[in-house]
Amino acid sequence: MTRLLYTALLLLLTPLALLRLWLRGKGNPDYRKRWGERLGFVPLRPKRQRLWVHAVSVGETIAAAPLLRAWQAAHPDWALLVTTTTPTGSAQVRRLFGDSVEHCYLPFDLPWLVALFLRRSQPSLAIVMETEIWPNLYACAQRRGLPLIMANARLSDKSFKAYRRLRWLVAPTLQRVALIAARGREDAERFVALGAASSQVEALGNLKFDLERSPQVVAAGRAWRDWLGKERPVWIAASTHPGEEEQVLAAHRLLLEQQPQALLLLAPRHPERAEAVLALVQAAGLQPLRRSGLSPAPQLPPPGLPAPSTGAVLVIDTLGELMAFYAASDLAYVGGSLVANGGHNPLEPLVLDLPVLSGPQVFNFREVYAELQALDAVTLVDSAQALGQAVAAAFESGVPSPTANPAVASWMRQNQGSTARLIERAQQLAGLST
């Protein structure tokens, strides 16, 4: 009965969801494409062993990449299907894996749509990244005998409180999952409190610690830095949100008073906001440069292109290049944290040995930030002025290398290995020898 009520409500909201896709298509036309997949009409897949991984968008796709590559290496006879819900996630899948994996959008969580999706895609094992709780999808998977794993599962304070109010719906949904691979002990305890059986939940660690330091990324970063200027200070504000870019630009203006050659790379979380961000740069009295206007991604700047002038801000409006621009920078501000978005992944710049600055709103990565603070490996700021002062101080005193601290390097090593643990458990559920 509870799932019936949920389905009825979702059915009423589906036209609004389609309208939202259409409206978002103003900024990114890909939102108006491939609607058949969102209604379950995905490509018909041939019958074979198939691992299906669902990664909502770009961040989850990046986190899933080591898992997917390891599975490809261990089981080359298996097909890999990756679903996303956003066009940016779709583009990231193609950028990382090309045609070596299958891709489609995940349909809306209506029982007849997810049943059609599963019939046509024919997965043998399912892994859902992060905390995606879909009652009808999970019920249909259980009915088909499809083992389903929630990987890198986490519950922030906010989401835990919200799900606790919906425990009548969440508990039976979680009980249909074969394995909840939680990021840590606190997350595991919260899933049990929401109704999962303790036998279903294991704290296997955070997959994001297994992020790869790609030689290709490092080489691309070096090439970009050669163009940007090796001697000038370069910092990046990554994954920023509305209301945050203004603060970052104000901080950069403060920095320019002390370091007039300093350059800011500004990467909004959603590249379709590039026009609005470029307008903010202009309004701040700075010179806006657009990454996509330099060369087609992922190509490097063409030979002979003049370096950015004093007062320039390079807005990164392309997909799949954030790690390269981290590698081109001296230090990183990780966004979503001077506004109440909960922050983004600080491990991405850390793996490239960049000092990390962040705002105080980091509830999505609370445990990671707490440990980084204990290691003195992150600087938290609460205003544009504090951010500008922190960046200026770092450049004035010499930007430190976080992993030069043995404690930081050891902490990162100790937290690695969750991908291997997850694959071992997935193989067991799939009936494969390990």
Separation CA 151–CA 128 (nearest Å): 6
Q: How far, rounded to the nearest angstrom, does the alpha carbon of residue 122 sit from its chain's CA centroid?
A: 26
Clarify whether 60 is annotated catalytic: yes
Report the pLDDT value the prediction gives residue 304, as an integer from 0 to 100. 83
Residue-wise pLDDT for 370-402, tens only, equals: 999 999 999 999 999 999 999 999 999 888 888
Beta strands in 287-328 (DSSP E): 287-290, 312-315
Of 37, 60, 130, 348, catalytic: 60
pLDDT at position 1, please? Answer: 65
- Model pLDDT, residue 433: 66
Distance CA 45, CA 81 (A): 10
Predicted local distance difference test score (pLDDT) of residue 346: 96
Reported as a single tens digit per residue, the pLDDT across 244-264 is 999 999 999 999 999 999 999
pLDDT of residue 434: 55
Give the pLDDT score at 302.
81
Low-confidence ranges of the chain (pLDDT < 50): none
Distance of CA 210 to the CA centre of its chain: 14
**Per-residue model confidence (pLDDT) at position 157:** 86
Q: Measure the CA dihedral 390/396/398/402, to 10°.
A: 0
Domains of the chain: 24-205+417-429 (3.40.50.11720), 215-414 (3.40.50.2000)
